[in-house]
A and B are shown apart, each in its own frame.
Chain A
Amino acid sequence: MALRIIVILAALMGVTGSPTTTVRPETSSVDTAAHPNSIPETAEETGQNEVFSEEEGAEDVMATGELNPNHYPAQRAAKVVQHYLTTRYGSPYRLFGLQRVHSGNAEDVGDSGRKYQLEIAVHEIISNTTQKCSAEVFFPHGQKQESPQVQASCEELLNISTKAQEEALYQQYKMNQTLISAQNLPDSHGHIEPDTKPLWHLGIVASSFIMLKESNENTLYNMAQVANITQLATENDQLKFDCHTLLHDMVSQVNTHNYELLDALENGRKSKLFP
């Protein structure tokens, strides 16, 4: 599937003003996933209806109630939170990975869908810091595939300011005589040239909008590669990129080609438009 979206990123400009995050007090949740259990729980003991393997298809019976945080239902829902956080707070200098799911709970919401409540640890990749987040993910069930809805509150997501770096990057690209372009990030050997890393990060942020939109309870999306990212000329202060990424769904093992136009504006406003 090829989708064109126009993404306006505040990323390159830095965010003006303080974002809306909720500061939660530290919870002392039992970290069930930190170390191997001395006696493992059976499926019956956890009250979980079913567990999943990577290779099972989309017809899994859905787990409800308390979830095993290491198993797929909780992990897939938590991955959606990762994509959500990246779309809201991501930039070439701020990216999130799912570190761990501490706990999870799922319940049906009538016929309209299923709601997951999660306590997770999120890893900010560039500063190498970990944050705890509480999140709720609602997967609507309907004839047409609809995007999940996410609410998340984390400790201090924007603690480390990336504004200066983002500004510097913007200036660098703006002042460049030539339009920047890169392919195969990472390459076949997993390598990324240091000066193309911000472009790889841009690709991840942009892909997260699509991955968020396309996720459901039977997907686990990651961006596999930026196949091509090319800067386009603009007549105003915008930076514009044409971006071709490969998305990978761990469940179906399908690689999806994703085409996007990225725009970056100066006023720090972040929004996205669909054609």
Chain B
Amino acid sequence: MENYNYTKYHPMDEIYRWMEDVERANPELVSSTIYGYTYERRNITLLKLGQNNTAGREKKVIWMDCGIHAREWIAPAFCQWFVKEIVNSYKTNEKLEQMLQNLDIYVTPVINVDGYIFTWTNNSNRLWRKSRSQSLPNSTCYGVDLNRNFKANWGTIGVSFDSCENTYCGESAGSEPEAQAVMDFVGAMVNQTLCFLTIHSAGQLILLPYGHPEISAPNYNELVSVDPNSGSSRDWARLIGIPFSYTFELRDKGKFGHLLPENQIQLACEEAYVGALSIITYVHEKAFNNSIVSNSAATTVKHFTLASGIAMMIWSTIMAVFVATGFI
């Protein structure tokens, strides 16, 4: 695990191996779970990051998934980066360690395993987006847009019913094993789940579901949906009651798009890590310390930010949002 290069893109077999290595090297923090199978019968695997809770309190859950869309390679790269950062810093970071005693962070580096593998097969498949299912035997086209397949006003806005289209939503809500696996697993722990983060590229945005107050983050624009979206995982999470549900769109804004050069992986991951950790810290403070007091919370953020200036801005913005709007 020490030799793993987090600033390169890795094929799926290397990611599977990396997950085993991380778990083996950090048994007190990391455990893996296979929570479903893809259309082509591959494991859908997550890593759970968390420590034993000495106080015996019920642990709350943070959910993070990457790679719903096969071509968005920077997203799985970020999930791996995120795990690496947590693993490397929790022992020397008291606040993070405390949070990991109260929270379990579930990270799925690649949800759409079949699609991801397909994008590695050759150059002309690199920009594949969907899964690799074939719903109708005589259909010549493959795949469902997994982010249109969730049970959230399925089949209404922004979708296609043509199986050859990139936004094909599938035969029915949850028809796809990858989407169903997430809904089953997260659904079973919905009462403990504080936060649902789904990582995509590109656009450098944080997307919030309907009804959310706006937040801001440097390098990112934020967008709020007016209407619940059709079949997206983020809106499904919001609809079943998970209070904090965000889509992160990582770099970039179009110059390279999904074909983000490897020399930008570090920058993309660092800025997203700051954003993700700020949100996680916020929901933790809200749930466990029940304090949105500026000073104490702001101090804790300084301990583990990579670029503390940026994190401070995100932090103070988030807090201002929720204080001002009285959001639950």
Contact = CB atoms under 8 A, between A and B. Distances in A.
B313 interface: yes
Interface string A33-51: 1011111111100000011
Interface residues of B, number: 55
Contacts, number: 134
A97 B255 contact: yes
B323 to A, nearest CB: 9
A53 interface: yes
A51 B225 contact: yes
A189 B261 contact: yes
Contact of B257 (A37, A53, A224): A224
Interface string B94-105: 000000000000
Nearest to B158: A57
B217 A54 contact: no
B217 to A, nearest CB: 7
Interface in B107-165: 119-120, 123, 126-127, 129, 145, 147-148, 157-159, 165
Interface string B195-219: 0000000010101000001111110
B38 interface: no
Interface stretch (A158-166, A169-177, A180-188, A235-243): A180-188
B256 A35 contact: no
B316 A38 contact: yes
A57 B261 CA distance: 29
B314 A40 contact: no
Contacts of B225: 51-53, 55-56
B223 interface: yes
B317 interface: yes
A129 interface: no
Contact of B205 (A54, A183, A246, A252): A54
B303 interface: no
B223 A71 contact: yes
A255 B254 contact: no
Nearest to B221: A70
B229 A56 contact: yes
Interface in A219-273: 220, 222, 224-225, 246, 248, 250, 252-255
B217 A57 contact: no
A188 B158 contact: no
A39 B323 CA distance: 10
B232 A36 contact: no
A38 B249 contact: no
Nearest to B261: A190
B238 to A, nearest CB: 12
A222 B252 CA distance: 11
B325 to A, nearest CB: 8
B226 A190 contact: no
B166 A254 contact: yes
Given A36-B218, A54-B205, A42 B213 contact: yes
B231 to A, nearest CB: 9
Interface in B219-271: 221-227, 229-230, 232, 249, 253-262, 264
B259 A98 contact: no
Interface string A67-101: 00011100100010000000000000000011000
B260 A55 contact: no
B9 interface: yes
A97 B256 contact: no
A255 B127 CA distance: 9
A191 B221 contact: no
A253 B229 contact: no
A59 interface: yes
Contacts of A254: 165-166
B223 A70 contact: yes
Interface string A203-215: 0000000000000
A38 B312 CA distance: 12
Given A39-B320, A254-B165, 6 more contacts: A55-B157, A55-B232, A97-B254, A224-B257, A248-B257, A253-B166
5 contacts: A36-B216, A36-B317, A38-B316, A54-B207, A190-B260
Closest 3 CB pairs of A and B: A36-B216, A190-B261, A222-B254
Interface of A: 33, 35-43, 50-57, 59, 70-72, 75, 79, 97-98, 125, 183-184, 186-191, 220, 222, 224-225, 246, 248, 250, 252-255
